[in-house]
Amino acid sequence: MGINISKLKEKFDKKSVERSDRFVFKDDDNYLRILPPSIEYLGESVDYISFDYLMHYNLGIEGEKISEVCPKTCGKHHKCPVCEVVYKLYKTNTAEDQALAGKMRGKIRHIFNIIDLNTLDKGIQIMETGPKVYEEIIKFITNPKWGDLLDLDKGRNFTITKTSDKKTTSGYIEYSVAPDPDSSSIRNQLPQNYKEMIGFLKKNVPSAKSYDALKMILEGDSNDVTTSEKQEHKTESVREDKPTEVKEEHKKPVEVKKEPPKCFSIDYGPKRDICLECSYKIDCRKKFLEID
């Protein structure tokens, strides 16, 4: 029958939006800028700075260190056989069982949009962290004296320092987070397709396997789970409750100029003074948020 070109192109286009550009922390200082987590941020205020998911570690038998995404990433109503085992282990009240439960329980992971200021040629990358780095970033962002650290025009660069386990008293890798004292614009250092790349972060939240597939892994039968079954039972990504459209602001009508400014739809910023005072703000925002 030959190749169905349109279907092939559709598959390729769908695959091409998946981002695999992962930022890897190097030892000592990492100088970067944390960017907005979604296209919605560029038009309105949002209540999140990253997307997150739950990961189970130390699954499998006979020493197999298998890691899998927890179905509860998409909501507590989703059943997870690993969580059920963890709950039973905690209930035994024995030190050995509780230690095992602690290793297997779901641990939260966060993914951010960032740009490494030392390797700008790599463009926008995905930074993945545990809760400690996330909480450090949140501590600064929620402090009024620092302002919106993710803003493209008035945000701040970050230094995240990684200390290897060989240099810490705890024996574990440790991280510290510090924003620059001065705010700055990052626009002239972003790639041309930065809006598309920012919008793809949500698509990179990993999906969980089905209940039965995870149960088989726990029982040591992971090899019997077919690829088709793994794909068929993947759950939806998180953040389904987030708005998909930018709501217009209800403001009194203003006098419209005959010609829009040269920056119309090209350089919009929701917190820039020049944009806030512009009579073309709403139309400019709509056009700016359209992805070609």
Lowest mean pLDDT among 53-57, 178-182, 192-196, 216-220: 216-220
- Considering the domain boundaries, does residue 264 fall inside one? yes
Task: For residues 236 and 288, state if they share a domain.
Answer: no
Task: For residues 122 and 186, state if they share a domain.
Answer: yes
Using alpha carbons only, give the angle 6, 9, 15 rounded to the nearest 5 degrees: 145
Lowest mean pLDDT among 40-49, 124-133, 187-196, 265-274: 265-274
The yes-or-no verdict on residue 178 having pLDDT over 60 is yes
Task: For residues 252 and 215, state if they share a domain.
Answer: no
Model pLDDT for residues 97-131, shown as the tens digit of each residue: 999 899 999 999 999 999 999 999 999 999 999 99
Domain count across the chain: 2
Residues pairing with 116 in the sheet: 32
Q: Determine contact, residues 109/55, Cβ cutoff 8 Å.
A: yes
Task: For residues 200 and 223, state if they share a domain.
Answer: yes
Model pLDDT for residues 7-47, shown as the tens digit of each residue: 555 555 544 444 558 999 999 999 999 999 999 998 878 89
Task: For residues 128 and 65, state if they share a domain.
Answer: yes
Task: For residues 171 and 257, state if they share a domain.
Answer: no
Single pTM value for the model:
0.72
Domain residue limits at 156: 20-247
Output the domain CATH number for residue 51. Answer: 3.90.198.10
Query: 142-166 in b/e burial notation, b at 16+ Cβ within 10 A?
Result: eeeeebbbbbbbbbbbbebebeeee
Task: For residues 163 and 288, state if they share a domain.
Answer: no
Q: Determine contact, residues 280/257, Cβ cutoff 8 Å.
A: yes
Task: For residues 144 and 175, state if they share a domain.
Answer: yes
